Structure 1
Amino acid sequence: MTLTWKIKPFETLSATELYEILRLRSEVFVVEQNCVYQDVDGRDVQAVHVFGEFEGKVVAYARIFDKGFPYETASIGRVIVKQTARDQKLGRVLMEKAIAAVAERFLQTTITISAQLYLQKFYESLGFTATSEMYLEDDIPHIEMVKR
């Protein structure tokens, strides 16, 4: 599966791109994870959106922020890969692109994430280290991690 990768600030997203991003986030975070929460949280307008498309559909996505919002450091969040594409190792490619985009767009190398606990080893393999104990976010175990 060859993806077309895009990195765009909110105001440059097309209506179709935004729809596909929100559709995937709802599909994974709300339906698949059976978690009722406010995904459209008002932060998207301040984010840069990193996403991979296949045949016009968003199948991998993350949003990045410069330092100062919502963390003191730059951050990456809403990291997702469509369930039917998870056997493609797209999570690693997505995170590598998001980390590179933080460095390129914001000139930052320290990055904070709020990671689902079961993915701790995956994020450690990308250079992140745990900086908190486990906590619940929307009833899902998470851990704060930082890459320096």
Structure 2
Amino acid sequence: MIEWQWAQLDNLTPRAVHAMYKLRQAVFVLEQTCLYPDIDEDDLSAYHLLGWQDGELVAYARILAPGTKYTEPAMGRVLTVNTRRRSGSGKKLVAEAIRRSEDAFPDTGLRISAQVYLLAFYEAFGFSTVGQPYDEDGIAHIEMVRPATGT
């Protein structure tokens, strides 16, 4: 069972922050070989969703408040540890991120810059594509929006 932690950076322990950055680096910089500044200014104001299982960080996503990047909140840095992929952890993570975002920012919807190969995965959560695919750090991405609940 995954235990969820939802907090802004100032409310995370140093060990949780270390685990978060270590996992983001392992997935985005090393595994996906994307050389980009993963740690950025958005981390300071973002809400971080950490999924812990048996004391290990196994899932993570970050939510930016409306107006930070887009009109609606933005979900990004979505990942699961490679040993837990295809186990349903990713679906649990996205469902929890949507729930937390809706609780924190009701009636605003949610935006994501999704990797194109995950298009059907995000469509299953109610996201629809916006615009055309584009290259981000050597990986094809596409903007997707999930409308506000009840719209």
How would you bin the TM-score normalised by the shorter chain?
over 0.9
- RMSD of aligned Cα (Å): 1.0
Structure 2 CA distance for aligned equivalents of residues 33 and 9 of structure 1: 26
Match of 1:60 in 2: 59
Q: In the alignment, what sits opposite 1:130?
A: 129
**1:146 aligns to what?**
145
Match of 1:114 in 2: 113
Q: Give the TM-score normalised by structure 1.
A: 0.96
* Partner-residue secondary structure (3-state), 1:40: coil
Q: What is the CA-CA distance between 1:36 and the residue it aligns to?
A: 1.0
CA positional deviation for 1:87 = 2.6
Paired amino acid for 2:110? I
1:77 aligns to 2:79 (yes or no): no
Q: Report how many residues are paired.
A: 147
**C-alpha separation in 2, matches of 1:91 and 1:15:** 25
**Displacement after TM superposition at 1:86 (Å):** 0.6
Gaps of 5+ in 1: none
Q: Given that residues 114 and 141 in structure 2 are in contact (C-alpha distance below 8 angstroms), is that contact kept between their aligned partners in structure 1?
A: yes
Task: Check 1:14–1:108 CA distance in 2 against 1; reply closer, same or farther (3 A cut).
Answer: farther
Cα distance, 1:108 vs structure 2 = 3.6
Are the aligned partners of 1:64 and 1:102 in contact in 2 as well (CA < 8 Å)? yes
> Given the two structures, how large is their TM-score scaled by the length of structure 2?
0.94
Aligned-residue offset at 1:55: 2.5
CA distances 1:9-44 after superposition (whole Å, capped 9, x unpaired): 111010000000001000000111111111001111
Kept in 2, the 8 Å contact 1:8–1:48? The answer is yes
CA contact (8 A) 1:50 1:98 kept: yes
Q: Which runs of 4+ in 1 moved over 4 A?
A: none
Counterpart-to-counterpart distance in 2, 1:8 and 1:68: 19
The residue aligned with 2:47 is: 48
SS in structure 1 at match of 2:40: coil
Taking the aligned partners of 1:107 and 1:66, their CA distance within structure 2 comes to 11
Return 5+ residue gaps in structure 2 as ranges: none
Aligned-residue identity in percent: 39
Contact map agreement 1:102 1:108 (CA 8 A) in 2 = no
2:42/2:64 contact within 8 Å kept: no
